[in-house]
Amino acid sequence: MKYADGPTVDVETLVDAPPAVVWSLVTTPVRFSAELQEARWLDDERFVGRSSHPAVGTWEMTCTVSAREPEREFGWVVGDRAHPYATWRFTLESAGTGTVLRQWMRMGPAPAGLTPAILAHPDKEDRIVARRLDEHRWNMQRTVDGIKQLAESHRSAAG
């Protein structure tokens, strides 16, 4: 698994709430991630994400919305839109009275936080990339599960 190949990871969950309820939560997932600490909107299309990781410290990156279709898709790129550090996306799919919520991300193609470790240990690139994807998977699952819990509790409170 090589960083240059743009490795991806995705997670999903079935939420017992309609897409409109789930949609209201996907643009504010900060409260669930152990890594993403804050998202500060600059305008309708850009926000600054502040993240923290025990091995790296704290950093901020400007993100640009790349997809926004209410109740269906919300996506963004980190860094330069044409050559991002990463691409992220939530998709919502109606499933009866509920919603299938998916979160997906792709690393690269621009060099990012893993690049120094990969350059220092090219023989361990597969392991470095796999470990980072596992961290993302864990945070993403925590995020979709948190959104599920909130959406279902909102639905229970309303109905």
How far apart (Å, rounded) are the C-alpha atoms in residues 16 and 46?
30
Span 93-113, pLDDT tens digits: 999 999 999 999 999 999 888
Q: 159 pLDDT exceeds 60?
A: no
- 95-99 long-range CB contacts below 8 Å, 24 or more apart? 95/14, 97/16, 97/18, 98/14, 98/15, 98/16, 98/17, 98/18, 99/14, 99/15, 99/17, 99/18, 99/19, 99/21, 99/22, 99/151
Distances (CA, A) of 40 to 21, 22, 62: 22, 21, 9
pLDDT of residue 31: 74
Burial 75-89 (b: 16+ CB within 10 A, else e): bbbbbeeeebbbbbb
Span 137-150, pLDDT tens digits: 999 999 999 999 99
